[in-house]
A and B are shown apart, each in its own frame.
Chain A
Amino acid sequence: MGVTRRKFLGWVGAATVGTTSMMGTRAHAASNKHFDGFPGSFGVLHDATRCIGCRKCEEACNRVNELPSPDQPFDDLAVLDNPRRTNAAAFTIVNRFESDDGGPAIYAKNQCNQCLEPACASACFVRALRKDKTGAVVYNASLCVGCRYCMIACPFNIPAYEYNEPLTPRIRKCHLCQFRIEKGLLPGCVETCPTEALTFGERDRLLKIAGQRINNFPGRYVDHIYGQHEMGGTSWMYLSPKPFTQIGLREDLGVQPAARFTSGPLSAVPIIVGLWPVLLTGIYAISKRKEKIAQQERIEAVAATVADANEEMKVKLAELKEKMTREKEAAINLEVKKALKEAAEKEEV
C-alpha cells in the first residue's frame, strides 16, 4: 500500500487547514467590502458612438499578439454581416448592430472586459488566471490544465480554447496587452484606432471622462457607463447611444463580482469538515448504544422469564406438596377413624 494512514491523515489535515486558511484571506460573503481595483490600474473606455467598424483594432491585435492570419483579410467588411465572438485566433472582434429605429448601424468592439474581480480567476483551480496590478487579467499557460471552467464562469463569454491542439491547448483571450503596458506602450487596438473610439488610461480617470461625455452630450449617450459596476466592475468600459443589450452587452448580470456567487458554498466546506465527523460519530455511538441496550434488555428478559418460571414451579411444587400432605393426612385420619370404629365394634361384641 503506497499510502500510510499517518500520511493520509496528514493530507486530510493539510486540506482542511488549506481550505480554512484561504477562507481567511478571501471570503467576505457577509461583509460589505468592495474591491475597487488596484489603485492606479489601467483600463480602456470604448465609445460606441465613435466606432466606424473598420476592424483596424482587430488587425492590430492580431499583429501584436502574433495570432494566425485569418481566412478573410481585415479590410473585408463583409465579415461584419454575421455576429461573431472572440475565439482562439481573435482576441477582439467588432460587431455591427442594426438600429431598430432605422438610424445608422452601431459598431461595438468586444474583448475581455478585464473584470476587477474576474469570474475566470476565481474559477481557476490552478491560479493560471489572475488580475494583474496593471489592470489586466492575465493567463499563465504553464499552469493551465485545460479544464475550461473559466469559460463556463465568464459572464461575457470571452475566453476561447485551442480545441484543435491535441496535447498543448491554451486558453486564449485579450490580456490588455499587459506586455506592452509594462514597456510603456499602448495596447495594440488603442494605438491603432483611427477615430479615438478607444481611450486608454487609469480607470478612475476613464470614469471621469465618460461622465463628462455623457454630461456634455446628453442626447448622444445612454446615461450609463457599462462596466462601472457590472459584475463588480470591469477595467474595460463602454459608452453607447442605445441600450447596451442592443450592442451585445447583457444588462442582467448584476453588480456582484462572480466570486460572491460561490463564497457561500465555499465557506460551508470547513464547517462540514469540522461538524460531520462529530455528527457521524454521534450517530454511530447512538446506534451502538441502542444495540447494547437492546442486548442487555434481551438478557434481562431471558433472566426474568427464567426467574418467573422458577417461581411458578416453586408455587406449583408447594401446592402439590400441600395437596399430598393433605391427602396423606386424610388417609391417616380415615385409617384412624376406621381403626377406632373397628375397635368400638369389637368392644360391643
Chain B
Amino acid sequence: MPQETNLPNKSVLTPFNIVAGIIILAGLIVTVLRFTKGLGTVTNLDDNNPWGLWIGFDLLCGVALAAGGYVTSAACYIFGFKRFHSAVRPAILTAFLGYALVVLALHYDVGRPWRLPYPIFVSPGTTSLLYEVGLCVFLYLTVLFIEYSPAALEWLGMKKLRNLIVRMTLVLTIFGVVLSTLHQSSLGALFMIAPSKLHPLWYSNYLPVYFFVSSIFAGLSMVIFEGTLAHRFLHDKMDATHLKESDGVVFGFSKAASFVMMGYLSIKLIGISVDNNWHLLFTGWGLWFLLELIGFVALPAFLYSLAVRERNLRWARWAAAWSVLGLVLNRLNISVIAFNWHLPSAQRYFPSWMEIVTSIFIVTLGVVIYRFITTRMPIFYDHPDYRHDI
C-alpha cells in the first residue's frame, strides 16, 4: 500500500530538499525586504509600470494554469468522461494550491495585504472588473478547498463529513465552472480599460473570451505536464487504476487541447479581422504576435494531434510543456511586454532579480506542499475504504 512506502528512513538532505531549501531561504529574505523596505527596493516597478512579474506571472499565469481543476472535474462529472476519474484529484489539488499561492503572491504585490477582504466585505467597488476577479477567486478558492477536502478527510479518517462532501460533488463542480468562466475571462477583461496602453494586436473586445478559452487548453496541458512529473517522481504512490487510466487521460486531454487550440486560433484570427489589424502583422510587434500565435499555439496544437494519431506519449508530453510555455508567453505579453508598448525603451519594465526570486519561491512552495500532500493523502490512489464508490 502506498502509505507503507511513505517517508522511508532516508536522509533529509536529498538534492530536491537542498535546492528547495535554498530557494525558500532566498524567498524568505526577499519577503523580509518587501515588508520592511517596500516595493521600491524589491521590484523594478514604477509609476508608469505599476504591474510587473508578480501580476503577469504569479496572478495571470497562476490562475490560468490552475484551470486544470475545473476542466478535469467538468470533464469527469458533468460531461461524463468517467475514464478521467483518476485525474480529478491531482488536478483539483493543483488548482487548490495554485489559487492559494496566487492569493499568497498578491500579499506581496498589493500595498496593504490585510485589506484584501475590503472589496468583498467593506467597500465593494462593483464597477471594477478587479472586484469581479476578487470575488470569484475568493469564492472559487473556497469551492476548491471543499472539493479537495475529501482527500484530507480520508487521510484523517473522518468518514461522515467526507461522505457528505462527496455527495455535493456535482453542485460544487457546476459552481466551479461558473466561477472559473467568470474570473478567467475577467482577468483578460481587466486590460480592456486601457486600450491606449495595450498594443492593438493584443487588445481586443474579445479579450475575456480569449482568456477563458486559453485557460481551457492551459488547464488540459497543465494536467498532462504535471502528470508527467508525477509519473517521474511519485510513481510509487499511484495505484493500478491510476496507472491503467493515465495513458487514456494523456491522449484524451491531448485531443481536447488540440481541438480547443485550433478553435482559439480561429477566434484570434477573427479578432484581427474584426479590428482590421492585418497590416500590423508586418511590423516588429506583428512578428512577435505571430511567434506567440504560430510558434506557441498552432505548432503545439499540431504536435498534440500527431501525438494522438501516433499514440506517442512523449510527443503529447512535449506538446503539453510547449503549450504551458505558450500560455505564459501570452499572459506576459498582455500584462507586461505589449503593455505600455508605446513608452520609450528607457521607461519600459524588466523584473528585478528579487521579483524573479519571489516568483520562483512561490512556485517552489507549491511543489513542496504538493509533494507533502501527495505522499500522505489519497491523491494518486483510491483510499482502500472508499474504493468502490465514485
Contacts and interface: CB of A to CB of B under 8 A. Distances in A.
B17 interface: no
Contacts of B192: 261-262, 264-265
Given A253-B196, A272-B178, A284-B170, A168 B130 contact: no
Interface in A240-272: 250, 252-254, 258-259, 261-262, 264-266, 268-269, 272
A12 B132 contact: no
B100 to A, nearest CB: 15
Interface string A140-180: 00011111110111010101111111111110000000000
Contacts of A85: 47-48
Nearest to A169: B111
> What interface size band does chain A fall in?
35 or more
Contacts of B36: 166
B111 A165 contact: yes
A144 B111 contact: yes
B126 A143 contact: no
Interface stretch (B114-122, B369-377, B380-388): B114-122
A154 B41 CA distance: 24
Interface in B162-188: 168, 170, 174-175, 177-178, 181-182, 185-186
Interface centre among B45, B128, B161 (most CB of A within 10 A): B128
Interface stretch (B134-142, B216-224, B301-309): B134-142
A208 B149 CA distance: 66
Nearest to A264: B205
B105 interface: no
A1 interface: yes
Nearest to B342: A250
Given A152-B197, A276-B177, A169 B189 contact: no
A67 interface: no
Interface in B150-169: 161, 168
Interface in A5-56: 5, 8, 11-12, 15, 18-19, 22, 26
Contact of A146 (B80, B110, B124, B170): B110
A220 interface: no
A288 interface: yes
A262 to B, nearest CB: 5
A145 B115 contact: yes
A280 interface: yes
Contacts of A225: none
A156 to B, nearest CB: 9
Given A3-B146, A163-B45, A253-B196, A145 B37 contact: no
Contacts, number: 202
A18 B116 contact: no
A197 interface: no
B50 A164 contact: no
A273 interface: yes
A177 to B, nearest CB: 21
Given A272-B181, A280-B174, A287-B80, A15 B40 contact: no
Q: Which of B45, B46, B194, B195 has the most CB of A within 10 A?
A: B194
A266 B129 contact: yes
B14 interface: no
Interface in B77-125: 77-80, 109-113, 115-116, 118-119, 122-125
B278 interface: no
Interface in B14-71: 34-41, 43, 45-48, 50-51
Contacts of B9: none
A244 to B, nearest CB: 14
Nearest to A22: B126
Interface string A113-130: 000000101111111100
Contact of B127 (A26, A148, A277, A281): A26
Interface string A279-308: 011011001101100000000000000000
B134 to A, nearest CB: 6
Contact of B124 (A88, A127, A148, A272): A127
A269 B111 contact: no
Contacts of B177: 276, 280
Interface string A188-200: 0000000000000
B130 A15 contact: no
B287 interface: no
B335 to A, nearest CB: 9
Given A15-B135, A145-B115, A273 B182 contact: yes
B126 A291 contact: no
Contact of A164 (B38, B77, B123): B38
A17 B38 CA distance: 38
A284 B78 contact: yes
B193 interface: yes
A56 to B, nearest CB: 24
Given A3-B146, A163-B45, A122 B37 contact: no
Given A152-B50, A284-B174, 11 more contacts: A125-B124, A125-B130, A152-B51, A153-B193, A166-B36, A168-B112, A262-B127, A262-B189, A265-B186, A266-B129, A277-B174
Interface of A: 1, 3, 5, 8, 11-12, 15, 18-19, 22, 26, 85-88, 119, 121-128, 143-149, 151-153, 155, 157, 159-170, 250, 252-254, 258-259, 261-262, 264-266, 268-269, 272-273, 276-277, 280-281, 283-284, 287-288, 290-291
5 contacts: A1-B161, A122-B128, A144-B111, A163-B43, A280-B178
